[in-house]
Chains A and B, each alone.
Chain A
Amino acid sequence: MKINKIILSFISAVAILLSTSVVSFAKVVGDKIVLGAAISLTGKYSSNGVHTQNGYNMAVDRINSMGGVKVGGKTYKFEIIYYDDESNPKRAAQLAERLISQDGVEFMLGPYSSGLTKAIAPVTEKYGVPMVEANGASRSLFTKGYKYLFAVLAPANLYLDVAIETAVELNGGKGVRIAQAFEQDAFSQDVRLGILDAAKRTGSEIIIDDKLPKELNDMAATLVKVKQMKPDVLVVSGHTKGALTAIRQIAEMKVDVPMLAMTHCDAAKLSKQHGKNSQYALCASQWHKTLTYKDNFFKDGMTYAADFQKEFGYDPPYQSAESSAALLVFKDAFERANSFDQKKVRDALAATNMQTFYGNIKFAPGGQNVDKPMVLFQVMCDSAGKCENKVVAPLKWASAKLIHPIPKWSER
């Protein structure tokens, strides 16, 4: 009797499960194009996850309010299903699976960070779901031969090689002596590979090559070596922790180095958290609001920044801008494909060649955007101690002249 009951309840549970999974969203419901995204709303990437989500939402609202997407003579509106991946790669892969096989999503937007994108890419690839991602820059994403992955951003190995090239140029074309410290994660190690390439290309020498641990909060040892060896350039990449720790300890230990190049300065709010101590730091950025790229939806960087500020109450970091750009790419591809067939949309994405407020977008066969250079900005402070990020390279976009070499601490 009891066993019968258990069996009965088991069967009904399975039946309920099946019935719910059959009734699922289709890719296009009525006049809506449903996109799926797993985003880090909690966990260690939550702040950047929120920047990403805000960027997506802003673009969805803008595109929908400006006429939506026209496919086959009919107008469609974007809608995004979000899930929280808890900053956990395993969870992100599960959620991608769920979005595709349960929710029936046929087009995906990327998560935040290279690590999570790496976890999701095999899933979208397996189902042939085109994914446009805006926050995974690791080079290894683009060397696996993925056919359905498209990234609007420049790959990580290009983040700082502009800095090395600039240093060499300022050195009269002769190679420079480089000290570098990189965190041991996929992204920073890719940035490191880029520096190694640049060093080889320019005949520069790497004299300090430190790897920083994940729980890094003290790099005094590296800086003591820098003081002793006096390199021409110091390169640091270790997400926001690395940027904050480096600036604090360089200022406290009065380390003099002619050029300091870093990543994640704007995410770390360097100029706000460190004020004048962060002055002269060179930072790699995917985007800066003063760049003069244009499109029909957000006009240009300055307008985007102002609108974003109005809606979310803070200045947009590049993570938000690139996320917004991902939606523009999708819209463009849908209209050119004039279809919701995944294969056709994929081919349209591959043929993308457009300008957005965020930059030019054109994908290499590996999926990375090859038409948008990285920019370098330098933190510059006025005498009242108010600091601002000004673009200094490449020269085409520069709004200020690079200050080089960095003045010695004793002369500041």
Chain B
Amino acid sequence: MDFMVFQYPMITIQACLDGILLGVLFALIAYGMALQWGVMNIINIAQGDLVILGGYIAYFMYLYGIHPAWGVIVSPIIMYFVGVGIYKLVINKVVDRDLFISILATFGISILFMQLMNFAFGADVVLANSGYGTTFLFDSNVVLPNSKIFSAFISILFAICLVIYMKKSKLGRAIRATAQNARAAKILGVDTEKVYAATFGINAALCGVAGALISITFTIHPYMGLPYTIRSFMIVIVAGLGNLPGVAMSGMGLGVFEEFADYILGTEFRIGAVFLLLVLILVYRRFKLSRKREYLK
């Protein structure tokens, strides 16, 4: 245990800012997951692999001399069609079945994607350089890479656009209606099949944006998807479905939590701490539920 993070105020600020910037990015991925979980009742284990695939799109643009930041526009467009394709091929066959089958199906997709990416792009760790430089705060005691600031800004921008789209557009309203009650929506003339396909596509597109940002800020590798799946799962569990401000807050909270766990427990327990938190929250929720039931009796 090391409490250095609390001894120096500058490190505390650094940890908080790092965590928030990171958390916003997680929240974007988690929002996609919450959306399709809410609408289709599907937990997408392949979420992280979609993110990595999106990252590779930005990386290849970078390789061909295009600035990787354009990836945040190109990648979601391509990923939307990838998402719709996955829906048409696999997900539409499991969408009305129980949750367990959809987990198995998306787990299969995840493995398939990992192997395909490894086959197509090689097992090397890669990254795209944005050349964005660094921002110094507090007499250069706190340093923030501009790439992290950029990715947080883009994540927020996409999240806002999506919220407006969900509120105002016809498809957005249809998606919300389906999420509330698929059968009723169908009776009232909503083509739920189309809504499902669009939802999966939008989720994949969000993953594409996040992936492009990750290739700019961190590194990508065919087998690196799972931690992103786990984090978004965690965020959604904490926030609850269909609760966008909740997803944003819990995303940032998780980011800060991870940073502090990193300082206090050591980097090796970073992901472990996330798992531990997940277990604690699930136990707490169960405990709360059981108490409520007793009270009602």
Find out whether the CB atom of B219 lies under 8 angstroms from the CB atom of A248: yes
A15-23, A43-51, A56-64, A390-398: which lies at the B interface?
A: A43-51
Instruction: Report if B15 contacts A (CB, 8 A).
Output: yes
Lowest 3 CB-CB distances: which A-B pairs, in order? A252-B145, A211-B268, A217-B218
Residue picked from A219, A220, A249, most chain B C-beta under 10 Å: A220
The smallest beta-carbon distance between B190 and chain A, in angstroms, is: 40
The answer for the CA separation of A44 and B223 in the assembled complex, in Å, is 7
The answer for the CA separation of A88 and B207 in the assembled complex, in Å, is 29
Chain A positions within 8 Å of B123 at CB level? 43-48, 87
Instruction: Report if B243 contacts A (CB, 8 A).
Output: no
Chain A positions within 8 Å of B129 at CB level? 248, 273-275
The answer for the CA separation of A42 and B214 in the assembled complex, in Å, is 25
The smallest beta-carbon distance between A286 and chain B, in angstroms, is: 19
Given known A-B contacts A220-B18, A224-B11, A241-B125, A213 and B270 have beta carbons under 8 A apart: yes
Instruction: Report if A406 contacts B (CB, 8 A).
Output: no
Instruction: Report if A401 contacts B (CB, 8 A).
Output: no
Residue picked from A217, A228, A239, most chain B C-beta under 10 Å: A217
Find out whether the CB atom of A219 lies under 8 angstroms from the CB atom of B267: yes
Chain B positions within 8 Å of A44 at CB level? 118, 123, 221-223
Residues A225-258 near B (CB distance < 8 A): 225, 227-228, 239-241, 244-245, 248-249, 252-254
Which of B124, B127, B145, B267 is in CB contact (< 8 Å) with A211?
A: B267
Instruction: Report if B61 contacts A (CB, 8 A).
Output: no
The answer for the CA separation of A319 and B176 in the assembled complex, in Å, is 55
Find out whether the CB atom of A241 lies under 8 angstroms from the CB atom of B221: yes
Chain A positions within 8 Å of B145 at CB level? 249, 252-253
B191-199, B246-254, B258-266: which lies at the A interface?
A: B258-266
Find out whether the CB atom of B118 lies under 8 angstroms from the CB atom of A244: no
Find out whether the CB atom of A218 lies under 8 angstroms from the CB atom of B218: yes
Find out whether the CB atom of A221 lies under 8 angstroms from the CB atom of B125: no
The answer for the CA separation of A43 and B115 in the assembled complex, in Å, is 7
Instruction: Report if B245 contacts A (CB, 8 A).
Output: no
Chain B positions within 8 Å of A43 at CB level? 118, 123
The smallest beta-carbon distance between B216 and chain A, in angstroms, is: 10
The answer for the CA separation of A129 and B186 in the assembled complex, in Å, is 68
The answer for the CA separation of A46 and B114 in the assembled complex, in Å, is 13
Number of A-B contacts (CB under 8 A): 101
Chain B positions within 8 Å of A249 at CB level? 145
Chain B positions within 8 Å of A212 at CB level? 267-268
Q: Chain A: which residue is nearest B14 at the CB level?
A: A224
Residues B216-246 near A (CB distance < 8 A): 218-219, 221-224, 226-227
Instruction: Report if B156 contacts A (CB, 8 A).
Output: no
Using a CB–CB distance below 8 Å, which chain B residues touch chain A?
A: 4, 8, 11, 14-15, 18, 22, 115, 118-119, 122-127, 129, 134, 136, 140, 143, 145, 147, 214, 218-219, 221-224, 226-227, 259, 262-263, 266-268, 270-272
Residues A45-86 near B (CB distance < 8 A): 45-48
- Having A221-B262, A225-B263, one finds 20 other A-B pairs with CB under 8 Å, namely A43-B118, A44-B123, A47-B122, A47-B124, A210-B268, A211-B267, A212-B267, A213-B268, A215-B271, A220-B259, A221-B15, A228-B11, A241-B221, A248-B127, A248-B129, A248-B219, A252-B143, A252-B147, A253-B134, A254-B143
The smallest beta-carbon distance between B128 and chain A, in angstroms, is: 9
The answer for the CA separation of A325 and B268 in the assembled complex, in Å, is 36
Q: Chain A: which residue is nearest B129 at the CB level?
A: A274
Chain A positions within 8 Å of B263 at CB level? 221, 225
Given known A-B contacts A221-B262, A224-B11, A252-B134, A240 and B267 have beta carbons under 8 A apart: no
Q: Can you list 28 pairs linking A and B with CB atoms under 8 Å apart?
A: A42-B119, A43-B118, A43-B123, A46-B118, A48-B123, A210-B266, A212-B267, A217-B219, A220-B18, A220-B259, A221-B18, A221-B262, A221-B263, A221-B267, A228-B8, A228-B11, A239-B125, A244-B127, A244-B219, A245-B218, A248-B218, A249-B145, A252-B143, A252-B145, A252-B147, A253-B143, A273-B127, A274-B129
Chain A positions within 8 Å of B125 at CB level? 239-241, 244, 268
Instruction: Report if A222 contacts B (CB, 8 A).
Output: yes
The answer for the CA separation of A212 and B124 in the assembled complex, in Å, is 19
Instruction: Report if A355 contacts B (CB, 8 A).
Output: no
Residues A242-293 near B (CB distance < 8 A): 244-245, 248-249, 252-254, 268-269, 273-275
Which of B14, B147, B262, B268 is in CB contact (< 8 Å) with A184?
A: B268
Given known A-B contacts A42-B115, A211-B266, A224-B11, A218 and B124 have beta carbons under 8 A apart: no
Q: Chain A: which residue is nearest B8 at the CB level?
A: A228
Chain A positions within 8 Å of B140 at CB level? 254
Chain B positions within 8 Å of A210 at CB level? 266-268
Find out whether the CB atom of B267 lies under 8 angstroms from the CB atom of A273: no
The answer for the CA separation of A224 and B18 in the assembled complex, in Å, is 11
Given known A-B contacts A244-B127, A245-B218, A252-B147, A181 and B122 have beta carbons under 8 A apart: no
The answer for the CA separation of A212 and B126 in the assembled complex, in Å, is 18
The answer for the CA separation of A46 and B127 in the assembled complex, in Å, is 18
The answer for the CA separation of A274 and B126 in the assembled complex, in Å, is 10
Q: Chain B: which residue is nearest A212 at the CB level?
A: B267
Q: Chain A: which residue is nearest B261 at the CB level?
A: A221
The smallest beta-carbon distance between B172 and chain A, in angstroms, is: 33
Chain B positions within 8 Å of A213 at CB level? 267-268, 270-272
The smallest beta-carbon distance between B17 and chain A, in angstroms, is: 10
Find out whether the CB atom of B134 lies under 8 angstroms from the CB atom of A254: yes
Chain A positions within 8 Å of B119 at CB level? 42
Find out whether the CB atom of A240 lies under 8 angstroms from the CB atom of B124: yes
Given known A-B contacts A46-B118, A210-B267, A222-B267, A217 and B259 have beta carbons under 8 A apart: no
Chain B positions within 8 Å of A268 at CB level? 124-125
The smallest beta-carbon distance between B8 and chain A, in angstroms, is: 6
Chain B positions within 8 Å of A245 at CB level? 218-219
The answer for the CA separation of A253 and B143 in the assembled complex, in Å, is 6
The answer for the CA separation of A46 and B268 in the assembled complex, in Å, is 26
Chain B positions within 8 Å of A273 at CB level? 126-127, 129
The answer for the CA separation of A181 and B147 in the assembled complex, in Å, is 23
Chain B positions within 8 Å of A218 at CB level? 22, 218
Chain A positions within 8 Å of B266 at CB level? 210-211
Chain B positions within 8 Å of A248 at CB level? 127, 129, 218-219
Find out whether the CB atom of B134 lies under 8 angstroms from the CB atom of A181: no
Chain B positions within 8 Å of A222 at CB level? 267
